[in-house]
Structure 1
Amino acid sequence: MIHGVWRELIADLYPGADLAPGADVAMLDEAEKALGLPLPFELVALLSEVDGVFNTYGDAVVWPLARIIDDNLAIRAEPDYVELYAPFDDLVFFGDSDMGPQFAYVYTDYGPGIVVWDHDTDRRRLVVVSLQDYLVRCFTQGTAWHG
Structure 2
Amino acid sequence: MWKDLIEKLYADAELAPPVSDTEIDQIERRLGQQVPNDLRDLLRCTNGVQAEWGAGLVWSVQEMIDQNIEFRCDAEFAELYMSFDQLMFFGDNGGGDQFCYVRLPSGHNTGVYVWEHETDDRKWAAGSLTDYLQRRAGAEGDDWYK
Task: Output the TM-score relative to the length of structure 2.
Answer: 0.90
SS in 2 for 1:74: helix
Task: List aligned pairs for 1:75-90, cutoff 5 A.
Answer: 75-90=71-86
Tell me if the contact between 1:22 and 1:47 (Cα under 8 Å) persists in the aligned partners: yes
In structure 2, list runs of 5 or more residues that go unmatched: none
Distance 1:56 1:115 in 2: 19
| Count of matched residue positions in the alignment of Structure 1 and Structure 2 | 143
Q: Is the 8 A contact 2:12 2:51 kept in 1?
A: no
| Between 8-17 and 97-106, the greater mean CA deviation after superposition | 8-17
2:118 is aligned with 1:117: no
Structure 1 residue 16, shift from structure 2 partner:
4.1
Matched with 1:126 is 124
Give me the whole-angstrom Cα distance separating, in 2, the residues matched to 1:24 and 1:70: 18
Task: Identify the residue that residue 57 of structure 2 maps to in structure 1.
Answer: 61
Q: Which amino acid aligns with 1:146?
A: Y
Partner of 1:98: 94
Report % sequence identity.
38
In 2, the alpha carbon distance for the partners of 1:18 and 1:53 equals 6
Partner of residue 22, structure 1: 18
The CA deviation string for residues 19-64 of structure 1, in whole angstroms up to 9 with x for no partner, is 2211232111111010000011100100110111111311111111
Read off the aligned partner of 1:75 and give its amino acid letter. Answer: F
1:43 aligns with 2:39: yes
Cα distance in 2 for partners of 1:16, 1:120 equals 28
Unaligned segments of structure 1, at least 5 residues: none
SS at match of 2:38: helix
Report the TM-score, using the length of structure 1 for normalisation. Answer: 0.90
Instruction: Say which SS state the counterpart of residue 100 (structure 1) adopts.
Output: coil
Provide the aligned C-alpha RMSD in A: 1.5
